[in-house]
Amino acid sequence: MAENHVAEHGAVAWSESEVADLVAKVGALKSSMARVIIGQEEVVDLLVTCLLAGGHALVEGVPGLGKTLLVKSLAQATDMQFRRVQFTPDLMPSDIVGTEILEEDAATRQRSFRFQPGPVFTQVLLADEINRAPPKTQSALLEAMQERSVTFAGHTHMLPRPFFVLATQNPIEQAGTYPLPEAQLDRFLLRIDVGYPTEDEEVMMVSKTTQAGLGDAEPVLDVQSLLRLQGLVRDIEIGEHLLRYATRMVRATRPQETTVAAVKKHVGWGAGPRAGQALVLASKARALMAGRLAVTRDDLQAMLLPVLAHRVLRNFEAEADGVAMADILQAIRAEIRVD
């Protein structure tokens, strides 16, 4: 008997057995990371969601919460190349994307320039404390994140696939930092907030790190399977009514055209169309992680905060009144309905 196909778009067809195998590998990926990361289940879920959707993540949290270990374990569990760049005020764009070096042929004595790739030529890049570098250096990542390529001296160099950037920010120490411009913030699919662990998790963390230490995550997902998963995410179904619902929620963040009172009062600038694309992609990835081949309203609502938290700007009145972004988005969820 011919195998049933559960999804087909153009030349791509997904069999039930392949979908089940890929979903199982996602579960194995999370389990492998859980052996290294203590607690932070929601953070791990969001990080994997971002990876499957083919986006980049902006992670905020105070030092010592395991942000570096988080992305390193992700690279280990997927068997991808990993590099870390510590962003500092003296970091130059060439320190990230690379530079040309002058070489001399030993036989002919002819000199020529050769491009020396920088650390951005990897599969998983940790941009640690990205807001400590000046805007010129921050912008060096723009083309890499959006186009998956680097242009230097008129030549375009393609980055490896997959390419995943995880940038971290310290939310409590802002002296000497350069806030990321909105154009660069919009390149991040999700913003993930890393909070303090529970008491039991912190006890376990202290115990493990002061004895034998934490091991490495076991490779459980190969690169080809990851690329197939990213392709499958694009083919997850979403109904027309949910596409319209996602678009309405994004449009409701714009004070000049919203009917939501909380937005009119507390938002200075709303999200652009790219936010709608990010919301749908992230919701598709969340649906796949749950073993579903169609997006639900719950997926869209669950992804609303991590997708919009860095794309919607609160005004001074919101900050003075202590109104959080989660409060504003909750008002949007309450007022915007699905047809």
49 and 177 assigned to the same domain: yes
Q: Are 246 and 276 in contact (CB under 8 A)?
A: yes
Query: Rounded to two decimals, what is the model's pTM?
Result: 0.87
In a domain, 279, yes or no: yes
Say if 110 falls within a structural domain. no
Classified as helix, coil or strand, 60 is strand
In percent, how much of the chain has pLDDT > 90?
43
CATH number at residue 200: 3.40.50.300
186-214 average pLDDT score: 81
Q: Which of 36, 132, 51, 60 is nearest to 89 (CA)?
A: 132
Same domain, 140 and 215: yes
User: Are residue 271 and residue 131 in the same domain, yes or no?
Assistant: no
Question: Smallest Cα–Cα separation from 293: which of 45, 48, 6, 24?
Answer: 6
Residues 255, 186 within the same domain: no
Query: Is 23 part of a structural domain of the chain?
Result: yes
Range of the domain at 133: 1-93+120-235
Looking at the DSSP assignment, which residues form a beta bridge with residue 14?
7
Say how many domains are in the chain. 2
Give me the amino acid identity at 279.
L
Task: Write the pLDDT tens digit of every residue in 142-183.
Answer: 778 888 888 887 788 899 999 999 998 877 666 667 788 777
Residues 134 and 74 in one domain: yes
User: Would you say residue 189 lies in a domain?
Assistant: yes
